[in-house]
Amino acid sequence: MTHLDTELKRLKDEILEMFNLVSSQLEKGKEALFNFDKSLAREVNFNEKRVNALELKIDKDCENIFALFNPVAIDLRFVLAVLKINSNLERIGDIADGIARYVAETETIFDAKLLQVTELEKMYSMAIEMMKDAQVAFDHENTKLARGVFKKDDILDDINGKANSVLAEFIQQHPDKTMQALHIVSTIRKLERTGDQAKNIVEEIIFYIEAKVLKHLSTAAKQE
């Protein structure tokens, strides 16, 4: 194994660690919201510092590989992909942190009907599943699994698209819970952006493995 191979292996281990950390943040955020666990929400907020620190380390390691080894072909695509995936994961970490702050700032447990009518649990679970699929696709170089993430994002978009009318009706019926509804609609928007970040990640995975640029293509074209 060459020195470059060793550094690339270390970089892969680091980005997989980032995947694990950010996925854990999402999962803990979901648990905190549905169990109204303020302590767990604060743990997510605290761990945001770990996400940021790891992002900076991975960025630095990518820069060092460029400077010291001048990688080409698939090695170059791998480092470029890791650099962008790292940024996407950091943004998802920010999203998890933001949702946890809603839990920490809310005074009373979220209304069960509000959570039900917005399909928030389904949306949250799908976002986490997309992240797991992206991680496995990256680790095992599985572009078929990566392409499946695009289809799953349709579910997030559908729930997000219905959110305004569903929440407007809920607020009319429960005006005393308007602030809760606003927190939930913000959470829905954040989860929709999580789906977008997950799609960006799998685009980079496909670019790295197949040397195909999917940016700006339609969803149907990306799945081919």
- Cα 206 from Cα 19, distance rounded (Å): 17
pLDDT of res. 26: 97
* pLDDT tens digits, 95-131: 999 999 999 988 889 999 999 999 999 999 999 999 9
C-beta neighbour count of 217 within 10 angstroms: 14
- Cα 210 from Cα 108, distance rounded (Å): 49
Which architecture, in CATH terms, is 3-222?
Up-down Bundle (1.20)
Q: Model-level pTM?
A: 0.93
* pLDDT tens digits, 164-209: 999 999 999 999 999 999 999 999 999 999 999 999 999 999 999 9
Backbone dihedral angles phi then psi of residue 213, each to the nearest 5 degrees: -95, 115
For the chain, percent of residues with pLDDT exceeding 90: 92
